[in-house]
Amino acid sequence: MAYLPRDPAMLLSLINMKLRDFYPSLTALCDDLDADPQEITQILNAAGYRYDADQNAFVNE
């Protein structure tokens, strides 16, 4: 995850854009980018966001 932003706001923006435009799921995004879905989820959960599979996006809790 070295190339993904560590700042939660920047990470949220990037991940949601990629999910919206390029990937059908968080798993597909992480597989393609060789990123850890648990690490992304942990950072964004701490910032008050959760992954909603139906919306394929991180949303406010």
Q: What is the pLDDT of residue 39?
A: 96
Instruction: Characterize 18-30 residue by residue with b for buried, 16 or more Cβ atoms within 10 angstroms of its Cβ, and e for exposed.
Output: bbeeebeebeebb
Mean pLDDT of the chain: 95
3 has a pLDDT exceeding 90: no
Is 0.85 topped by the overall pTM?
yes
2 has a pLDDT exceeding 90: no
45 has a pLDDT exceeding 70: yes
| Burial environment of residue 41 by CB neighbours within 10 A (0 to 12, 13 to 18, 19 or more) | middle
Residues 6 or more apart from 30 whose CB is under 8 A from it?
36, 37, 40
